[in-house]
Structure 1
């Protein structure tokens, strides 16, 4: 995995948006669109959480009125309110993709000390524990490969991709995926700028690098164009200044 990690790290351009690299931004938006924006309208609202809760309860066989059904509903209400407090900048009861990225950029910026690398927002802590329990279908405290594949399948992740991702995060099936390790992987997913970090694969996507080289080429071209425009503008200003000085130094016919 070390060689793969190094090769991935070398090809990923570090173009920054809100203080995040293009790679970090892609990870965040992938999760936003895959796991949160359930109705695929480009923003998060309470109805996304409501639909997600209904989908998960149905998948798990939790009937309305059951303890787990009610507990899930209360949890999702709490998570949504906390997420609103963190991300809904314009208070429109919606969270746009840009607000989502800004929220994470701000959080990472203000929690960058070495002792805080594993920290995530409070609402994420709640969601992570819930998601772990969702994966852990047999409630034995460990996520196995079949459970991982089954749950990710409900979010549109293909079985081969889920299996490959699990093999990576479990370090070739040698590391047990318990709650502490799962939390570590999730924190790494949100915070790391290393494409080879194990947490990169926690959501079943194997490649966030596709198209990044093209994006970097476009960014470099835009940067060069901006520099050329700036240089041309400076030349024009200097030319105009020289002409004004020349006219000022030229004697008039009345002189």
Structure 2
């Protein structure tokens, strides 16, 4: 993926990136029986079966709505009934959470916005940002969270420690848009999750190129590449930039959890990795 921006910022692989050292360490789940790749419809469910989960001060909430609230106005009231329980997904599997009454969470920083959400109780540890509000998670699925990647500033790809990430960044640095102009700054981030039989990996980098005078024609060249390694295959996963973890099934990646501050979504992967 190629992008340009007037601001030099790091590419995001999930949560906001901070720091300036290394890459995220590979994560391996508890051993489980590895079988055939998951069927394409393993996580497919009727419309309305999934709901977004947000985290506020470390606690999970079932997302209801988001709105800008102006002086003298009231937050919008939640519409429709809510389920008494939902099924959250944890590293150990499905967990039944109790749904509380709606509350207003101040989620704005510079702007006056609020999020209406319902507190979820009864499940400990990290949870996927998507819940089953109707039906149940399939037997055998697990949530594997992505550790927050860190930025690493660099001047040459050889400074990067992860081999595949280093090779990818070196290939980008050989492109004319980057190699053909003076490099002023560069930063990269790397994420990798090992589910056992499958490995999902993302490399991201931003390159500030152009004259040394910042008032001149400087440009940010951003690059992101993601791959799923399964059974000797290297399968590109296009347009995967922000992700928070995966849903695993018998050592395979069955789905990828994408996220934004107020919403989340689940992209399913079948036997072919698509």
Quickly name the TM-score band, shorter chain normalised.
Answer: under 0.3
Higher strand share: 2
Higher helix share: 1
TM norm structure 2:
0.22
